[in-house]
């Protein structure tokens, strides 16, 4: 079998498995391993090799070892553990409480506070789904009790939860950096400004919504004294300290992302224990959840590494690059095509699966057209977060629907996220038109 044909069939088969809800790790890993066996057993111009499984297994195990031996990837369990500690100790919720205290009186103030709380949670946890689940339990009931419509309340948190993928530290940035061989620290820094622009865009959407449909966001005044407001605000210092250490340490060259993860994890544990917000049992539970989540991420990454080895050996990426070169597309044309592909895949697949499935093709393709890979990483992660709120599989929408009591219908939430998705399209257009938005801090 022609190697390029084998690679193409492997991609199609992997997509079919993922659409059928086969776990990503097994879909990519199994297709990659079988493809490697076929590649080594039926090489063109050579006799059938009955021992083709030996080089196939060797390549697969080497792919796993190379991935797990990555220094940058060791940051994943550290940031995941730090996020679980901060969630259990209430550090992340303090940001929402402070925002609600000061801006609840303005049009759409509670929804804006929820989005800001999502931004703060994202800056600590790095997980969009965890952000949506946590804020969905806290903020949506608060807004509906205050008279907010279910569409605005749920949609603002579903959209705000996507900030977890863009505002550093981000697990997607770490995985992109490892597979695209780019600096994770630079990716973290490059995500700051686009993340803030996305946050401000969501706030603008809520403000306009609240002014046009006042019945959806009645004015709400939280009766608190100045002393109480100050007390609530001061409680955010652990979150601000952690975020400052992550960004300041990496930007100032004091830490690598992995070292920053270790420092802030230890700091979060010490602060939480000292403030008696968590006990030894809570820390143990957080570490247990971290172990499960990290194992799942590493298993998925290993399967993707095997699949990437198959793609590289079959020359499929090179053929794709040559095809695009033959079509004589401009850089803008290539980027538009990439954006459309990611948006289409985002309608059906989860962000991690899209990222690991497409990187072997998209990175060499855009690199061939002179695209900065740090900037491209920011664009890809932004597109992936948009997939979290697009039907029919928008994961943040279903998370919000599942954590609200009684459950808010997913269709109602999807209708509410339309203006937020439109704002995301504007942000993507800005990123493409002005790449310096993502690169000027790096």
pLDDT of the residue at 378: 95
Q: What is the pLDDT of residue 48?
A: 65
Question: What is the rounded CA–CA span in Å between residue 248 and residue 173?
Answer: 18
pLDDT at res. 126: 66
Token reading at 216: 């959806």
User: pLDDT at position 295, please?
Assistant: 87
Interatomic CA distance for residues 142 and 262, integer angstroms: 35
- Compute and round to an integer the Cα radius of gyration of the chain: 23
Tell me the per-residue pLDDT of 1-54, one tens digit each, with 9 for 90 and over. Answer: 688 888 889 888 988 888 887 888 888 889 999 999 988 888 765 566 777 778
Q: Is the backbone peptide bond immediately before 97 cis, with ω within 30 degrees of 0?
A: no
Amino acid 332: pLDDT: 86
Q: What's residue 15's pLDDT?
A: 84
User: Which pLDDT does position 46 carry in this prediction?
Assistant: 59
Rounded to whole angstroms, how far apart are CA atoms 177 and 154? 32
Query: What backbone torsions phi and psi does residue 124 show, to the nearest 5 degrees?
Result: -105, -45
pTM for the model? 0.85
- CA gap 81, 266 in Å, rounded: 10
- Respond yes or no on whether the N-terminal peptide bond of residue 338 is cis (omega within 30° of 0): no
Read off the pLDDT of residues 78-118 as tens digits, 9 standing for 90 and up. 888 888 888 888 887 788 788 878 877 788 888 998 888 88
Q: Which residues of the chain have pLDDT under 70?
A: 1, 44-48, 122-123, 125-126, 220-222
């Amino acid at each position: 079998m022609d190697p390029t044909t084998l690679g193409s069939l492997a991609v199609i088969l992997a997509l079919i498995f993922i659409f059928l809800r086969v776990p990503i790790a097994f879909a990519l890993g199994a297709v990659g391993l079988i493809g490697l066996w076929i590649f080594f057993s039926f090489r063109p111009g050579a006799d059938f090799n009955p021992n083709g499984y030996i080089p196939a297994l060797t390549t697969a195990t080497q792919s796993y070892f190379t991935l797990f031996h990555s220094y940058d990837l060791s940051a994943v369990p550290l940031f995941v553990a730090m996020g679980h500690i901060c969630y259990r100790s209430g550090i992340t919720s303090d940001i929402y409480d402070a925002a609600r205290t000061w801006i609840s009186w303005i049009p759409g103030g509670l929804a804006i506070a929820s989005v800001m709380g999502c931004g703060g949670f994202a800056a600590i946890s790095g997980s969009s789904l965890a952000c949506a689940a946590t804020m969905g339990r806290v903020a949506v009931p608060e807004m509906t009790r205050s008279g907010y419509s279910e569409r605005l309340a749920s949609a603002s948190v579903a959209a705000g939860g996507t900030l977890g993928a863009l505002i550093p530290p981000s697990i997607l940035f770490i995985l992109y950096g490892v597979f695209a061989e780019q600096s994770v620290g630079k990716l973290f820094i490059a995500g700051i400004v686009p993340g803030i622009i996305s946050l401000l865009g969501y706030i603008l959407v809520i403000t306009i919504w609240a002014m046009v449909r006042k019945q959806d966001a009645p004015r709400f005044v939280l009766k608190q004294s100045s002393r109480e407001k100050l007390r609530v605000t001061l409680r955010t210092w652990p979150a601000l300290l952690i975020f400052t250490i992550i960004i300041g340490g990496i930007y100032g060259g004091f830490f690598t992302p992995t070292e920053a993860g270790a420092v802030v994890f230890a700091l979060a544990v010490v602060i939480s224990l000292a403030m008696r917000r968590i006990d030894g049992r809570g820390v143990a539970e957080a570490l247990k959840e971290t172990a499960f989540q990290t194992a799942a991420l590493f298993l998925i990454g290993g399967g993707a590494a095997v699949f990437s080895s198959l793609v590289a050996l079959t020359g499929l990426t090179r053929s794709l690059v040559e095809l695009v070169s033959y079509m004589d597309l401009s850089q803008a044309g290539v980027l538009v095509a990439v954006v459309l592909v990611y948006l289409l895949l985002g309608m059906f697949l989860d962000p991690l699966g899209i990222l690991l499935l497409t990187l072997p093709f998209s990175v060499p393709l855009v690199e061939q057209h002179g695209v900065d890979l740090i900037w491209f990483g920011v664009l890809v992660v932004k597109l992936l977060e948009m997939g979290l709120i697009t039907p029919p599989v928008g994961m943040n929408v279903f998370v919000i629907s599942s954590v609200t009591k009684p459950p808010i219908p997913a269709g109602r939430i999807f209708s509410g996220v339309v203006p937020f998705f439109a704002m995301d399209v504007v942000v993507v257009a800005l990123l493409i038109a002005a790449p310096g938005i993502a690169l000027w801090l790096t």
